[in-house]
Amino acid sequence: MTAEVLLERPSASVALLRINRPEARNALNASVRKLLAEHLRALADDEAARCVVVTGDDKAFAAGADLRDMAEAGAIEMMLRNSHRLWAAIAEFPKPLIAAVNGVALGGGCELAMHADLIIAGEGARFGQPEVRVGIMPGAGGTQRLVRAVGKFKAMKLVLTGEPIGAREADAIGLVTEVVADAEVLPRALALAEQIAAMPPLAVRQIKEVLLAGQDAPLSTALALERKAFQLLFASEDQKEGMRAFLDKRQPEFRGR
């Protein structure tokens, strides 16, 4: 039986996670969420993997949570599933994560994309939080990450109407990083991953950590975090190598030390 999340290694420094439930438009059942969490926990400890891309197929990034998994569930059962722990493995992934989105990214699929650090969307991609239409609301960060990305008034329209938006509108309101031709989504995401993977890994990880930790902190606190991380990187071999290479007019060799 084919795994519902496939791990591929396009290069030594880049990993690709491919959601593989085409018959269900890559809906996020418990198995998919568990496999994504397991792969990302392993990749967090894999020194060779410096950037990760997550994708679906040409028709769907992920069409949302699998309603068959929850239609008859009760509140206590939903609580005991502890799904938030699986989402935490994605939210706490310390390395850059890129979502390559073709087709629909709805409900949990949109939430999964928003867990990423960069979103590359195809021209035909559609994003939305349609949970209200089936009597519930977003439950994996869809209200909180969305309002932080696009602001109150755009977020309210998306979550209160459940209407999806196209890639160009998503780009205009700040929900995606880039929009490219549908056929170029994965190649562009992988090229961007390779570009980031070539950067000094310690600096990359500190940038991600400080940016995410500081966005909801008071400015003075966030600036203190930035300052301490900046100073810390002067203890790294990569800082010495990067600056010496710049002065020597040669390409640096970053080792993550």
Residue 202's pLDDT is what?
96
Single out the residue of 104, 109, 108 nearest to residue 124, CA to CA: 104
Residue extents of the structural domains in the chain: 5-197, 201-248
> Of the residues 56, 103, 108, 242, which is catalytic?
108
> Of the residues 62, 65, 116, 125, which is catalytic?
65
Single out the residue of 105, 106, 162, 165 nearest to residue 135, CA to CA: 162
> Of the residues 4, 103, 122, 131, which is catalytic?
131
CATH 1.10.287.130 fits domain 201-248: no
pTM for the full predicted model = 0.93
Percentage of residues in the chain having pLDDT higher than 90:
85
Residue 81's pLDDT is what?
75
pLDDT tens readout for residues 101-159: 999 999 999 999 999 999 999 999 999 999 999 898 898 889 999 999 999 999 999 99
Q: Is 111 marked active-site?
A: yes
Q: Give pLDDT < 70 ranges for the chain.
A: 1
Residue 83's pLDDT is what?
79
Name 119's Cβ contacts closer than 8 Å, sequence gap at least 6.
98, 99, 101, 113, 175, 176, 177, 178
5-197 — its CATH code? Answer: 3.90.226.10
Residue 1's pLDDT is what?
63
> Of the residues 15, 100, 111, 189, which is catalytic?
111
Q: Is 131 marked active-site?
A: yes
